[in-house]
Amino acid sequence: MGRASRILPVSDPASFERAARVLRKGGLVAFPTETVYGLGASALDAKAVLKIFRLKKRPSFDPLIVHASSSVMARKLWRRPPARALALAAAYWPGPLTLVLPRSPIVPDVVTSGLDTVAVRVPSHPAARALIERFGAPIAAPSANLFGRTSATTAQMVLEDLGGGVDLVLDGGPATLGVESTVLKYEGGRFHLLRPGGVTLESLRRRVRVVTGSPERRIESPGQLASHYAPRTPLALAERGAAAWIGERRRRGALPRKVGVLAFRARPRTPGVRACEVLSRAGSLSEAAFRLFQAMRKLDKMRLDLIVAEAVPSRGLGLAVNDRLRRASAPTHKSTRNLR
Stretch in the footprint of Mg ion (CB under 5 A) among 45-53, 108-116, 141-149, 234-242: 141-149
Q: 42 or 112: whose CB is closer to ligand TXA? A: 112
The distance of closest approach from Cβ of residue 85 to ligand TXA in the complex, given in angstroms and rounded to an integer, is 13
Q: 270 or 336: whose CB is closer to ligand TXA? A: 336
125 contacts 83 by C-beta, under 8 angstroms: no
- Sheet strands side by side (includes 306-310): 235-238, 306-310, 259-263, 273-278
Q: 122 or 273: whose CB is closer to ligand TXA? A: 122
Applying the rule CB under 6 A, the residues between 178 and 207 that interact with ligand TXA are 180-181, 183, 194-195
Rule CB under 5 A: is residue 322 a binding residue for Mg ion? no
Of the residues 100, 158, 201, 285, which one makes contact with ligand TXA according to CB under 6 A? 100
Rule CB under 5 A: is residue 329 a binding residue for Mg ion? no
CA-based torsion, 141, 144, 148, 154: positive or negative: negative
The distance of closest approach from Cβ of residue 230 to Mg ion in the complex, given in angstroms and rounded to an integer, is 11
309 CB neighbour count, 10 Å cutoff: 30
Q: 306-310 and 259-263: which strand pairing?
A: parallel
Stretch in the footprint of Mg ion (CB under 5 A) among 68-76, 105-113, 119-127, 137-145: 137-145
Q: Give me the count of residues in the chain.
A: 340
Rule CB under 6 A: is residue 172 a binding residue for ligand TXA? no
Element (H, E) at 66: strand 65-67
CA distance 78 to 189: 16
Rule CB under 5 A: is residue 143 a binding residue for Mg ion? yes
Q: Following DSSP, what letter does each residue of 143-202 receive, concatenated?
A: BSS-TTBPPP-SHHHHHHHHGGG-SEEEE-SS-SS-SPPEEEEEETTEEEEEE--SS-HH
Rule CB under 6 A: is residue 141 a binding residue for ligand TXA? yes
Rule CB under 6 A: is residue 143 a binding residue for ligand TXA? yes
> In 3D, which of 234, 229, 224, 223 has the Cα closest to residue 331?
234
Q: How many residues bind ligand TXA (CB under 6 A)?
A: 28
CA distance 186 to 173: 33
Interacting residues with Mg ion (CB under 5 A): 143
Interacting residues with ligand TXA (CB under 6 A): 33, 35-36, 38, 62-65, 96, 98, 100, 112, 115, 117-119, 141-143, 180-181, 183, 194-195, 220-223
